[in-house]
Amino acid sequence: MDETLSLGRIAGVRVGLHWSVLVIVALITTALAHGRFPAAHPGHSPVAYWGLAVLTAVVFLGSLLAHELAHAVVARRNGVEVDGITLWMLGGAARLRGEAPSPAAELRIAGVGPLTSLLAGGVLAGAAVGLAALHASGLVVEAVAWLAAINVLLAVFNALPAAPLDGGRLLRAYLWHRTGDRLRATRGATAAGRALGWFMVLTGFADVLFGGNLSGLWAALIGWFLIAAATAESRQAQIRGVLEGVPVRRVMTPAPVTVPATTTLRDFLAEGPFGPYRHSAFPVLAADGSVTGLLTVRRAQAAPQQAREHTTVREVMHPLGDVVTATPDEPVLDLLPRLQDSPVRRALVLDQGRLVGILTVADITRALAWPSASEGPRRRPPELSKEQR
């Protein structure tokens, strides 16, 4: 989930908002200003209802952020890098780079989220009681009480033992500890996540069809999200299971076809696709044989036809500083996130500055598709998502 608006950094963690946050803010604001607040405390002006509803929705987003920040901080303390946090329509997501190193670390990272929400709910419940004792406005007490209840509900829902919820992480930590097999533990947790998701989808639509309750659509939407997220997590776990411990040198294409930096685009394009240039991207070499960049066919084609005779490869290539590089002994799993973020989806493999290979997502896909010599026929391997391609 990519962010639309950056909020900067909190506790060293990059925080952003996705545009869909506006949907949840609008839904909460409308539900409170049009329904709960007037029903519980009639007689106030529309401005009071709507103003307090907006403030309540913003505080709710703050509680979601606190939940995800807790995950991020504990993850860092347990040696897991954090790319950032994005708040979106169905809550928040802390983007962790890599896996927890042990079941105990998984337990700590997953468990701190529901505990944070539960603590927030308790503090807000105490605040509501205190405000009521001080004879504060009943409308304000209602808003604080709603925030307390929603945080407790958030804690309970996230504690359900189904991936990708925090409870699913706790279940995976337990299964991992019991079996010693992280992949098997992930399969169990994601299977539970899909089961919960389908239950929510079916009951949500049943509520709409047979009970006439449109709020069932919200439950069905969350259920569908759980199914999709659990399936994606299972696929990623299978990819990690295949590539665990595999170095780049075993997956890369060695001795790739290169192109001299002084070659004109006209000469380059004239040699493909039936000549030596049969691929879609080529490392570019300087006169001394050192790699200086990467040329893609798309970049070459983008140059005006009349200028190709005088334009050299050096002028249109991706400079080496903008290209992902790796070493032959680097684990493929460590390289994969950088490869996915690269606009050219390729990495140049360098050994002490010397070009020895090129790695693409297609190379990784072939590695995933190749059957192991120690096993019989197996199911079709997990496919990379469109973002990974």
* Residue 64 contacts residue 92 (beta carbons within 8 Å): yes
Beta bridge partners of 359: 347
Tokens representing 30 are 């409308």
Find all residues with CB under 8 Å of 259, minimum gap 6, and list them.
Answer: 268, 277, 282, 283, 284, 285, 295, 313
239-242 long-range contacts (CB < 8 A, ≥24 apart) are 239/368, 239/382, 239/384, 240/99, 240/183, 240/333, 241/183, 242/367, 242/368, 242/381
Specify whether the CB–CB gap between 93 and 68 falls below 8 A. Answer: yes
Burial 329-346 (b: 16+ CB within 10 A, else e): ebebbebbeebeebebbb
**Helical H segments across 324-360, by residue range:** 332-341
Active site residue 68: yes
For 102, phi then psi, to 5°, come to -155, 165
Compute the Cα dihedral for 101, 1, 30, 54 and give only its sign: positive
248 in the Ramachandran plot: left (φ > 0), alpha (ψ -120 to 50) or beta? alpha
Instruction: Give the total residue count for the chain.
Output: 389
- The SS3 call for residue 61 is helix
Catalytic residue among 3, 68, 142, 233: 68
3 state SS of 342: coil
Residue type, 42: P
How far is CA 257 from each of CA 21, 126, 278, 283, 357, rounded to the nearest angstrom?
Answer: 47, 68, 9, 7, 9
Q: Looking at the annotation, which residues are catalytic?
A: 68
